Every structure is written in C-alpha cells, then in structure tokens.
Amino acid sequence: MPYPVAHVMFFVLCICAIAVYTILVALLRRDISSKNIIQILLLLLVGGFFAEFPDIPAVYNILVNGTMEHSQIGPIPTHSLLFSSSAILFGTFIGYMIYREFGKAVYVGLFAMSASLAHLLLDDLSRGAIYYLYPISSRAFSVSSYMDVGIARVNFIRYLMASYVLVFFLFVVIMMALFALDHLGFEFRYRPEK
C-alpha cells in the first residue's frame, strides 16, 4: 500500500491536475482574491483528508485494538465502495460549513467521495486487496492484478474486462472530481478562437 503522502499527491496532482493548473494561472494573473484562495485551500484540504479517509480508522484500531490494522473498523472494511461512499455525507457537511449553501455543499461532498475513491484506485494499482462489493460479497480482490499477468496465462476476455473496469473506474473518479470542481467555480470550457 502506498504511503499517505502518495495518496494525497495522486489525488491532487493526477485526479485534480486541471484544478491545480487553474489555480496557478489565476495566481500568476493575480486574478484571485484572498477569500477565494482560502476557499480553494479548504477545498484542497478536504480532498487531501478524504484521499486518506479509508486509512483513518488505523488510529481507531491503534487505540482500541492495539493493532496497526487499517482496513477494518469493526466488521466494516474501510477499503470498500460502501465506506468510501460515506465520504459524500461528511464532505457535504464540511462543504456546508465552508459555503453555507446546500447546493455547493453537495459538490464538496462529491469531491470528497472522488478523493476517497482515488484512494481505493491507488491501492488497487499497488495490488492492495479492496472489498469493492462489500456487503454483497466479503471477498477482497485487486482488479489491476488481472491486467499484468500476460495474455497467454489468463483468459483473454477476463484480461480485457479487468482492463476496461480499471480504466473506467479511473475515468469515473476523474469525471466526479471535474464535475464537482466545475460547480464550485472552476470553469472548464472549450474556446475555439484560440
């Protein structure tokens, strides 16, 4: 499993690369107010926190169970789509505290969920066991492990499906983050005149 810094960097620099670019351009043009800078930093802080969200229960397990186990909190696996989906609730609450508008708060929640899903994606790429289908299935697996075994050693259809699933998962996480950022003031548009 990657270190915590890698999770934050993966989310901020890979998933939200266009947001980082937009911020840098606005800063260079001096086109941004100090209030906006604070809101952007809070948004990146929310993204960074929720990029670590599935590993946060490690603190709970250290205090209660005396172990470094960080993939379960009680009976619930933290590296699952169910647990990562709870990030939208916490993110919406934090977003409401930042913006005081329910509409924008929901997009902060969506941004938080994309950060939490990016954590699962990076763990999957490093061959970590993810409980994607919990509570439907308690089997942990890594989709990316099916992609690099070589076509000759595995069923070709299974290889293709694993490739499509992983790339589609990455696409969905990026689109969730971009959709949320677009509704939080980051404008992404095509300008044919350039």
In a domain, 189, yes or no: no
Domain assignment of residue 194, yes or no: no
Burial class (CB in 10 A: 0-12, 13-18, 19+), 18: middle
Sign of CA dihedral 175, 132, 140, 160: negative
Say if 68 falls within a structural domain: yes
Per the DSSP assignment, residues forming a β-bridge with 76 are: 73
Residue 33's domain spans which residues? 4-183
Predicted local confidence at residue 147, as pLDDT:
65
**44 domain-assigned:** yes
Which two three-digit tokens encode residue 51? Answer: 């990029």
User: Tell me: the pLDDT tens digits for 92-144?
Assistant: 999 999 889 999 999 999 999 999 999 988 888 887 778 888 888 888 888 77
172 in any annotated domain:
yes
- The runs of H, that is alpha helices, within the chain are 4-9, 17-28, 34-51, 57-64, 81-85, 87-99, 102-125, 156-183
Tell me the average confidence (pLDDT) per consecutive run of 10 residues in the chain, 194 residues long: 79 84 83 80 89 80 72 79 91 93 94 93 83 85 70 68 84 91 79 68
Domain count, the chain: 1
Closest listed residue to residue 72, CA positions, set 55, 96, 88, 86: 55
